[in-house]
């Protein structure tokens, strides 16, 4: 952190915002410094003890201000390495009318994609999977669960389920599920997607590097082959601060009214 930013804490001592509780004054000073670009995404904050000394306030006060800013998504804390200014989120605008894969979506935007495996294997299907994929209890389901990361920012947790008869080796799909399905002639051509609001639980929030409880999007995608057969049942959690889903709407002519 540079000298200019160091002054944030020193000037707090002579702060003219008297009256407001000290932790609020410190919170505002840090927020202002981020907004004015004095400290930028990825910059490390000095330790709690250093801030307390520089600003001449107690560590409890520093902790309270920092925790507020972490909750608000301005700062992030990484265990063992400290507190940092949160990376700035470039919102991804995603069309709702094209059936694309995560890899294609990000490549089109020039973003580097990688995934962290959370699960992959063949399992006995859950009742939901049996119903959506049309499986019997004696058949197996292939599960592929990944944290999807673009330009080093985790954007979504995707948990895909497919019949084991179309994906015998979930560990062998490489970096793109749709590319693997394409190779066997099983790439979906149509999908129905349901999007709902969800507050992120602790473990999802930790993976997505956001504070627990913040708004996310729960997305369920059921994809079909041209034959009408369901090929993919995916349940995902997307970061609410990272995605704008965009749909084009058209006025229907009288002949189309009443159609689903
Ligand atoms: C998209 C799909 C997901 C699909 C994945 C394949 C949504 C909400 N989800 O992210 O259902 O499994 O693409 O991506 O759009 P891949 O080919 O890069 O593995």
Domains of the chain: 2-85 (1.10.10.10), 92-246 (3.40.1410.10)
Whole-number pLDDT of residue 14: 56
Q: Which atom of ligand 1 is nearest to the CA of 103?
A: 18
Q: Which atom of ligand 1 is nearest to the CA of 160?
A: 12
Nearest CA, atom 10, ligand 1: 102
Q: Is the CB of 102 under 6 A from ligand 1?
A: yes
- Residues 22, 24, 27: CA angle, nearest 5 degrees: 110
Walk along the chain (260 residues) in steps of 10 and give the mean pLDDT of each run.
65 63 89 84 89 90 92 82 82 86 90 94 98 97 97 93 96 95 96 96 92 92 97 96 87 65
Q: Are 94 and 246 in contact (CB under 8 A)?
A: yes
The stretches of the chain forming alpha helices (DSSP H) are 3-12, 22-35, 48-55, 59-71, 102-108, 127-133, 177-183, 202-208
117 burial type by CB count under 10 A (0-12 exposed, 13-18 middle, 19+ buried): exposed
Q: Is the CB of 234 under 6 A from ligand 1?
A: yes
Residue from 224, 78, 188, 205 nearest 147 by CA: 205
Whole-number pLDDT of residue 92: 82
| Edge-to-edge strand ranges of the sheet holding 153-163 | 113-123, 141-150, 153-163, 230-239, 215-224, 190-199
Cα–ligand 1 centroid distance for 102 (angstroms): 5
Residues 6 or more apart in contact with residue 62 via CB below 8 angstroms: 23, 26, 48, 51, 52, 55
Cα–ligand 1 centroid distance for 234 (angstroms): 8
Nearest CA, atom 11, ligand 1: 234
Q: Is the CB of 103 under 6 A from ligand 1?
A: yes
Read off φ and ψ for residue 226, nearest 5 degrees: -60, -30
Torsion (CA) 23, 25, 239, 250 in degrees, nearest 10: 140
Nearest CA, atom 4, ligand 1: 101
CA–CA distance, 26 with 79 (Å, rounded to integer): 22
Cα–ligand 1 centroid distance for 122 (angstroms): 19
Q: Is the CB of 158 under 6 A from ligand 1?
A: yes
pTM over 0.85: no
Whole-number pLDDT of residue 256: 57
Cα–ligand 1 centroid distance for 148 (angstroms): 9
Whole-number pLDDT of residue 257: 56
């Amino acid at each position: 952190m540079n000298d200019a930013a160091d002054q944030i804490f020193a000037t707090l001592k002579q702060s003219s915002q008297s009256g407001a509780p000290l932790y609020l004054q410190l919170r505002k000073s840090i927020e202002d410094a981020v907004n004015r670009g004095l400290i930028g995404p990825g910059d490390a904050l000095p330790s709690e003890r250093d801030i307390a000394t520089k600003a001449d306030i107690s560590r409890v006060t520093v902790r309270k201000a920092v925790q507020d800013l972490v909750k608000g998504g301005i700062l992030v804390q990484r265990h063992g390495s400290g507190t940092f200014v949160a990376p700035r989120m470039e919102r991804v605008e995603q069309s709702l009318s094209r059936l694309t894969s995560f890899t294609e979506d990000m490549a089109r935007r020039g973003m580097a994609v990688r995934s962290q495996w959370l699960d992959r294997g063949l399992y006995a299907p859950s009742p939901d999977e049996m119903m959506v994929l049309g499986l019997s209890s004696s058949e197996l389901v292939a599960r592929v669960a990944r944290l999807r990361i673009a330009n080093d920012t985790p954007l979504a947790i995707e948990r895909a389920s497919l019949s084991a008869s179309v994906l015998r080796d979930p560990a062998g799909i490489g970096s793109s599920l749709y590319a693997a399905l394409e190779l066997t002639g099983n790439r979906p051509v149509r999908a129905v997607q349901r999007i709902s609001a969800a507050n992120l639980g602790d473990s999802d929030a930790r993976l997505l590097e956001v504070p627990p409880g913040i708004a996310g999007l729960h997305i369920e995608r059921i994809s079909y082959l041209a034959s009408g057969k369901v090929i993919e049942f995916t349940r995902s959690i997307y970061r609410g601060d990272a995605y704008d889903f965009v749909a084009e709407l058209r006025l229907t002519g009288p002949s189309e009214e009443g159609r689903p």
